[in-house]
Structure 1
Amino acid sequence: MTHHPQEHEDHDEADRTESGGEVVPLDAARRRARRADEQESDRDEDEFFDRETVAIEGTVLGPPVDPPDDAAVSYRSGNGQRRAPIIPSTLRSWRSTRSMLIWAAKDAGYVVGYHAVRTPKYVAKATLYAPVGFFRATGKLLHWATAEEGNWALRQYAADRNDPEMWLKLDRQRQRQSRWRWSVLAAVAVTALIGLLLFLFADIPTWGRLLAVALAVPLLARVGRPTDKPITDRVSEGPRYRKLTAELVRRALLSCGLSGINQAVSKDPNAISFPQEIHRDGPGHLAVVDLPFGVEAADVVARRGRLASGMRLPLDQVWPEPGDGHPGRLALWVGYEPASQMRQPAWPLLKDGKVDVFKPFPFATTPRMDTVNAALMFRNWLVGGQPGSGKTFALRLAVLAASLDPRAELRIYELKGVGDFKVLEPVCTEYGNGFDDETIARCAGMIRWLYKECEHRSKRIAHYAALGKAPENKVTLELASFKGSGLHPLIVAIDEIQELFLHPKYGKEAGEILEKVIKLGRAL
């Protein structure tokens, strides 16, 4: 059976005419509306797509660049966020803890000694102010008991408005508050009177009377002294140490004159942030700072003088360095006192210890009093600096450490002639002291021997490599410890070596040979 929609439409029209009303079948109305939409759509497409138009597919939108946080994500311990250490940095090493305790003890001892010397002056001032404090405290207690200040402003307002009824209500309220206060004051007065009678007539030990006076007199003197005249003197006119705060760090960074910091802070005051709290770190405080975007910590380190000026501290008390994480993180350490006034800790190997030259040894300390280790093997040392900066001391310390290794052979020449290395002569295979021609000739001969020793050692290493005992083809801890190998550590130290290089006869030859030894001898 074929279905004709038009037939239904004709019947609908007849029904509508006969009944005089309008009956609209919903299905037929929907079909008509659908056909009209399709015809309109076809007509619009025909009008739009002409010869000069090209159909372009719609843009496919991808996911957002920053997707929203998923609340259903389970907890992960490694979420990439930096956690604060469980143990504070001050307590991680005994040296750091010891430095903090020593500084605190020194500061406390100074304060105690300062006030102990002025004790007679403090006693005289306290004795003078104590009677004044007694009468002043009594007057304050009586004034408190009357409860005059409770609603005084309201009572005064009622009196100004000539409202006696309100004033009387407020005064009755004051009297109710005053009753229990008088009771408390009476109890305090009776207790004080009993205590005074016991102090005067009871059999109390002398130390008990002194203790009572030592407690009462300072309290009364504190109440009776003038506001602008303290009993104790100030320990210092200004703070000997300025506590490191975020505001102080921001001000100091702005004073460095870096445009990247100043422009960023002018737009956003929070451009300088602190990923962790400022905390104690050895004999000082450490502030870890995230600088504004595009500013490197090295830029601030290069302007250390301006940074110290912004903090109003000596230069050797402010120590900035790049922090861990990214180039824009600054680790700013500020000591309790300048490094020039801090006491250098004793060398850990001074009294006891053994050194393995294949491993780092304690060489120096940082301003934080942390130990700095240095390595001798596979290194060429060149110690330079201004006159009097401690070059000889540094070299002597390294040689002293090497002398604590029983395998090491020492050959030392001190071309200044003052005997800075004389103490090491008994443990040296070869030692020279002076800048005369004979000593310099011996030093040049030792350098020639060094080059021949490099040739000899290279053959020995090749021999042991063929036997499978030198897998790295260089001197190792095992080869150096092997008896009869001839590959034991050889330490050569020459102080004031410029005297050798400037010598008219041996200088040029010594320089050329040493250049070869420096290149070859590191692995031999």
Structure 2
Amino acid sequence: MSYSKSMGEVVHLPVRTSTAPADTSADTAADPLADAESAPALDAPAGAPDGAERIEDAAAAVVDIDTSFEVQLDPGADPDAEGEPVDDGIGYLLDDPEGDAYPVIPEHLRSLAGVGEAIARHARRMGHRIAFHTVRAPGYAVRAGVWSVVGLWRLIDRQLKWWWVSENDYLRSLAIAQGDSREWYKLHREVKETRRTRGTILAGQAVGVLAAGLVLVEVAPWWGWAAVAAVGVPWLAHLGRPEDRPIIVPATTVPRFRLLNHDVVLRAYYAAGLGHPEKPGQQVTFETTMSRTPQGEGSQVKVVLPHGTGFGDVVKAKDDLASGLDVAPSQVYLSHDPTSHRRHTLTVMDRDPLAVPAGKTPLLDCKPRNIWRPAPFGLDEHSRKVTVGLLWNSLLIGAQPRKGKTFAARLLALYAALDPAVRLSVVDGKNSPDWNKFALVAYHFIRGTVPNRAGDPVRQLIDALAEIKRHIIDTNDFLSTLPPEECPEGKLTEELCRRYPKRLFIWMLVVEEFQNYFELPDQDDNKQVAELLSFILAVGPSSGVILLSSSQKPSGVGAGDVQRLFNRYRDNHAVRFALRCGNRNVSDAILGGDAYSEGFDASALPVGKQYLGVGYLYGAADETPTVRTHLADHGDAEKILTAARTYRERAGTLTGYAAGEDTGTPDRDVLADVLAVFGADPGLHWTELADRLADQFPDRWADATPDAVSAQCRDLGVPSVNVKRAGVTVRGCRKNAVQAAADATATG
């Protein structure tokens, strides 16, 4: 993950999770749609372009997606480009260590889209001001007329005082008091001479004004009088109005913010019970002076608490501290000092930063993205850009319903969709319309838990997870066969993915409301899903499989092994994003047990429409920012996914569900396969039956477990009974029961 220290200056922070080494060569740094290595794909037919070449062809094309927008793929585009921010009017700093030079042309004005957005933003502001003042124009005219009369009188009064040399009265009075007649006569003569000169000037001025008035009366048209009034009345009104009563009121307000000093901070800490000003050893002190934040949007100071008081006490008293500072709790931020539990940095923002929207997602430029680069996610509390590295990571997103959980997960999935080399599997456990448009690009697209026209989603999910598991195993096996000079550390790299696009690629698995698949009516299905997801979470990220899980119920799911596997699956996500939660227990389930002690409680996030999409991003870096996610509504998602589908069609990577293909395991007749492996045995244990199916039909039953075979046979009418074999009696089935079920199916 990375932040922008100021608008546009990116600082890369160390990531907690382990990452595979990326190739730092010039080829690796290039865009994924740029020229790839010339080595052919292993599975490509002779003479046919491989996947990398098709991606190159897509990059060289101009794609007309619809009449509303056009996408131009630039082979030389910056791979780190994230699109122009939608609502950002500040120039960006250059990305250099000194940070003291601004670009000649601000970044947001370097494209037609950016220029258009800047013009539109200023036009909206100007339109508001014009409408505001137009409504109040009659009142302005009345006030201007009244104060212009006052201004005319003040002008005449000033002229008379200037002519009379009133400032000389004090000096003459002083000469009289001192009995200095000579000085008095001298001053008197100077005053008479000055009055004569100034009187002549004023007389000439009066004659000129009178002559101009007569000329206007005789020859000037109506617009001449209007021009004189337009110039003279505002000037006289400005001269006549009081200083504290403007004629034209401002159309916008100036944000109020509290100016902090050490006394205000001390008062707040003592009011919150974090020390006492008079008790020995209980005083709060400061390690630094009060200063502004680097972005100039707040104040900060490093506080030293009394002995016996720690950072946890400050976290608990945050609301009381905000009350003492006379600000909202969302304006107060506490940063723990790792060297001392008594020390922390207090930051108080001038205004509530979480109530300011981050704006539309930069993905709306519909340009292709590179999954090997961080995805734009939003802005933090200091308005710095927040990006999330998706590779080598698993992400858990949790929140109450309707707090922005699905929108946040969809942002990252949209980023992956814009890379045509990424395979995308979308599993929507709540069967909502939020993910429907991903059918345009998804390799797997599974909705709900109840069988529907598209089939049984539970069986589809198990088959899809089994396929991903096989891909992980195949990827690791293939990497182990590569020579050390080609794959020095035996890990996936961008260069290898471009060289062998049919064998090595990135796969994102999105599971919305994943807890629904741990609470299925059939416990065997629960176990299969739990085991497969746990395997993928443990092994998948190192093989290029990205897990994106979301849930509104991250605890209290299942029982026994299912509950254990659910908790393991939930707790082993490397990166967590928690939006508003119902209580602290739910927040801890999403963020982990250590988050609260570090000052992060998602149940304390502010509530309101303006705070939708606000949450804590934990585990992505050493810092935990409060993120305001970008927005991509349903229309935005459809536009982005339409572009993503076009890129995949051009690159030849549109496969699976989106291409109308059957992505499940090969069709199988369960009863026919079971009968085929029985042989002469009248009965088999479920374990023996599963082993025989896997040996004789590995293409269909390679990952079958005894529980899965039992569940599928019982669904088809085969009872599970005690079977005695080799002196051991365990559950299994009998051949005559399987035959009866097969006959009933054939006649039914």
1:255 aligned onto 2:249: no
Would you say 1:219 and 2:238 are equivalent positions? no
Aligned match of 1:348: 362
What letter is aligned with 1:469? E
Does 2:541 match 1:522? yes
Answer whether contact 2:303 2:345 (CA < 8 A) is retained: no
Distance change >3 Å, CA 400–CA 191, structure 1 → 2: same
- Give the match for residue 519 of structure 2: 502
Match of 1:375 among 377, 385, 389: 389
1:400 is aligned to 414
The answer to whether the 8 A contact 1:419-1:433 is kept is no
Bigger mean CA offset, 404-413 vs 296-305:
296-305
Q: How does 1:197-236 map to 2 (within 5 A)?
A: 197-201=211-215, 209-225=225-241, 231-233=247-249
Aligned residues: 424
Distance 1:271 1:485, change over 3 A: closer
1:493 matched residue in structure 2 = 510
For the 8 Å contact 2:497–2:505, the answer to whether it is kept is yes
Q: Aligned partners of 1:359, 1:261: CA distance in 2, in Å?
A: 50
In the alignment, which residue of structure 1 is the partner of 2:92? Answer: none
> 1:69 maps to which residue?
none
- Larger mean CA deviation between 113-122 and 417-426 belongs to 113-122
**C-alpha distance 313-289 of structure 1, shift in aligned 2 (>3 A):** closer
Residue 147 of structure 2: aligned partner: 129
- In 2, the alpha carbon distance for the partners of 1:360 and 1:455 equals 26
* Cα distance between partner residues in 2 of 1:116 and 1:324: 54
Q: Is the 8 A contact 1:301 1:320 kept in 2?
A: no
For 2:193 and 2:500, the matched residues in 1 are separated by 100
- Provide Cα deviations, 1:88-128, integer angstroms capped at 9, x if missing partner: 79x97649x99999988876765554333222212122223
Superposition pairs of residues 321-360 of structure 1, within 5 angstroms: 322=335, 332-335=348-351, 339-340=354-355, 342-360=356-374
Deviation at 1:212, TM superposition (A): 3.2
Choose which of 146, 158, 180 in structure 1 pairs with 2:194.
180
Q: Shift of the alpha carbon at 1:426?
A: 2.8
Q: 1:225 to 1:240 in 2, by over 3 A?
A: closer
Question: What does 1:171-320 align with in structure 2 at a 5 Å threshold?
Answer: 173=187, 176-177=190-191, 179-180=193-194, 183-184=197-198, 186-201=200-215, 209-225=225-241, 231-233=247-249, 240-242=254-256, 245=259, 247=261, 251=264, 254-257=267-270, 259=274, 273-274=289-290, 281=295, 285-287=296-298, 289-293=300-304, 305=319, 309=323, 312=326, 314-316=328-330, 318=331, 320=333
Structure 1: how far apart are the matches of 2:293 and 2:469? 54
Which aligned pairs between 1:84-103 and structure 2 lie closer than 5 A? 86-87=100-101, 94=108
Cα separation, partners in 2 of 1:486 and 1:86, compared to 1, 3 Å: closer
* 8 Å CA contact retained: 1:297, 1:329: no
Whether the aligned pair in 2 keeps the contact of 1:348 and 1:362 (CA below 8 Å) is yes
Q: For structure 1, which segment, 398-407 or 481-490, has the greater mean C-alpha deviation from structure 2 after superposition?
A: 481-490
Give the partner amino acid of 1:389.
K
1:109 and 1:260 mapped to 2: Cα distance? Answer: 52
| Partner residue in 2 for 1:511 | 530
Q: What do the CA deviations read for 1:406-464 (whole angstroms, capped 9, x no partner)?
A: 22111111111123211111322211112215212321332233333332222122112
Q: Distance in 2 between matches of 1:268 and 1:378?
A: 44
With the length of structure 2 as denominator, give the TM-score of the two structures. 0.48
Residue 477 (str. 1) matches residue 491 (str. 2) = no
Aligned residue for 1:350, secondary structure, equals helix
The answer for the alignment partner of 1:155 in structure 2 is 173
SS of the aligned residue for 1:143 comes to helix
Cross-structure match for 1:31:
none
Are the aligned partners of 1:254 and 1:261 in contact in 2 as well (CA < 8 Å)?
Answer: no
Q: Which amino acid aligns with 1:489?
A: I
Q: Counterpart of 1:65? A: none
Counterpart-to-counterpart distance in 2, 1:401 and 1:227: 55
3-state secondary structure, aligned to 2:362:
coil
Normalised by the length of structure 1, the TM-score is: 0.66
SS in 2 for 1:428: coil
Work out the percentage of aligned pairs sharing the same amino acid.
Answer: 22
**For the residues of structure 2 that align with 1:313 and 1:103, how far apart are their CA atoms?**
30
8 Å CA contact 1:147–1:174 kept in 2: the answer is no
Higher RCO, 1 or 2 (CA under 8 Å, sep at least 6)?
2
Query: 1:356 corresponds to which letter in structure 2?
Result: N
Shift in alpha-carbon separation, 1:192–1:241, aligned structure 2, 3 A: farther
Q: CA RMSD in A?
A: 4.6
Pair 1:343–1:138, CA change in 2 (3 A): same
CA gap of 1:125–1:455, structure 2 versus 1, over 3 A, is closer
Q: 1:499 to 1:269 in 2, by over 3 A?
A: closer
Residue 368 of structure 1, CA deviation:
5.1
Aligned partners of 2:276 and 2:297: how far apart in 1?
A: 20
Contact 1:252–1:309 (8 Å) recurs in 2: no
Name the CA distance, whole Å, in 2 between partners of 1:182 and 1:339: 69
Q: Kindly indicate whether the alpha-carbon contact (under 8 Å) linking 1:363 and 1:374 is maintained by their aligned counterparts in 2.
A: yes
Q: Is 1:145 paired with 2:159?
A: no
Consecutive unaligned residues in structure 2, runs of 5 or more: 1-96, 544-748
3-state SS of paired residue (1:362): strand
State the alpha-carbon separation in 2 of the partners of residues 191 and 240 from structure 1: 43
How far the C-alpha of 1:353 sits from its partner, in A, is 1.5
Does 2:459 match 1:445? no
**Is the radius of gyration larger for structure 1 or structure 2?**
1
The CA deviation string for residues 365-384 of structure 1, in whole angstroms up to 9 with x for no partner, is 33555432112210011111
Q: CA separation in 2, counterparts of 1:513 and 1:124? A: 78
Residue 689 of structure 2 corresponds to which residue in structure 1? none
Segment drifting more, 405-414 vs 210-219: 210-219
1:171–1:510: structure 2 CA closer, same or farther, 3 Å change rule?
A: farther
Residue 383 of structure 1 aligns to a residue whose secondary structure is strand
What residue identity is the alignment partner of 1:255?
Answer: A
Q: Would the alpha carbon gap of residues 345 and 145 (structure 1) be closer, same or farther in structure 2, given more than 3 Å must change?
A: same
Per-residue deviation, residues 313-348 of structure 1 (Å, max 9, x unmatched): 5555x364649999755555435x7643x4543322
Going from structure 1 to structure 2, the CA distance change for 1:398 and 1:267 (only over 3 Å counts) comes to closer
Letter in 1 for 2:264: R
